Amino acid sequence: MPELPEVETTKKDLSKKTILEKVKGCWVGLPNRTFIRSDFKKRDYSEIIKGGKIENVYRKGKNIIIDLSNGVSILMHQKISGHILFGKWQYDSGKWISKDKLLAQKINSFIYFIIFLTNGNMIALSDPRKFFKVEFWKKEDLEESQAIKELGPDALEIDLKRLQGLLGKRKQGIKKLLLNQSFISGIGNIYSDEMLWDAAISPFRKANSLKEDETKKLFKSMRKILKESLRYKGDSTSDYRLITGEEGSYQKRHKVYQRDGEKCPRNDGGIIKREKFGNRSLRYCPICQK
C-alpha cells in the first residue's frame, strides 16, 4: 500500500504538472469505487468538475486531494495496490492505451478513473486489485468530514513532545499503534518495520513502556526513514509507481522488510524474523530490537 513517502511524492510531482490547469471532465470505470459525497445540483461526475482550475494538490494522511476553483475537491485514496499516473491515453477496444513505454507497462494498465485536462493531459488512477476510492466533495464539506477529522497528526509534522504525550497514554503494542491512522497518519507496514528496527525497539513493546530515550530514538527514526524514502521517491516493492510510471527505489534500502531469514544488518548475530500480524506480517531482529 502506498504510504506517506509514496503519496507525498505523488502529490509533489502532480502539483508541478497540474496547478492552474483547467479540468475538462472525467471518466469513471468503476462506479462502485467512485462516490459523490456532497449534495451537488448535478449528479454527473464530469459535470461536477468541468471548468474548474486545479488550485491545489495536497496530502492528508494517505489521501491525495485536488482542490478546484469551482469549490469542488476530489479525494483519491490508492488503498492497497493503486497508483496515480500522469500522461496521455487513448481508448481502444475497451482499454486505455498509452504510447509512452513506461505508462504502457502492464502494472500501469489497470486504469479505472481519469481526469481530463483541457491541455490534453490526463490524471489516471491504475489499480490491479480495484480497491481504490475516489470521492467528489464540496471543499467545505470535506474539511468537516469524519474521514479528515479523524486522522491523527501527520507523521512528518508531529513533534517530539506530542509523540511522547500520545505514547504515554497507550497500552497497545507500538507496531499496532503506528499503523493506526487515527493515532498518527501516514505510516504503514513497510515503514513501521523499518523505523522500529532503526530505533532498536521491539514491535511487541507496549507503547507506554517506552522510556524517554527510546521515544526520542523512535521520533528520530521516524523522521529519518520517511525523509530517506522521500529522497528515493518511495518504495516500489509492490504496485506503487511514480506518476511517470517509473519505480521508486527505496526498496533497495530495506533493513528488515522482506528480508526474512537474512542476517541483521547490525551484525549482532540476529536473523530477521517474520511473524503474522493480523492480516499482515511484521519483520524484526529478535536480538537488537528490545
Q: Identify whether 214 is a catalytic site residue.
A: no
Contacts of 42 by beta carbon, 8 Å cutoff, 6+ apart: 48
CA dihedral (281, 257, 133, 58) in degrees, to 10, reads: 140
* C-beta of residue 281 within 8 angstroms of C-beta of residue 193: no
CA distances from 47 to 25, 50, 52, 166, 213 (A): 7, 5, 10, 44, 55
> Which of 3, 135, 194, 247 is flagged as catalytic?
3
Q: Identify whether 280 is a catalytic site residue.
A: yes
> Which of 2, 59, 60, 233 is flagged as catalytic?
2
The continuous run of DSSP H or E covering 126 comes out as strand 122-126
> Which of 62, 241, 255, 259 is flagged as catalytic?
62
Q: Identify whether 205 is a catalytic site residue.
A: no
> Which of 12, 53, 130, 280 is flagged as catalytic?
280
Q: Identify whether 259 is a catalytic site residue.
A: no
The residues carrying an active-site annotation are: 2-3, 62, 280
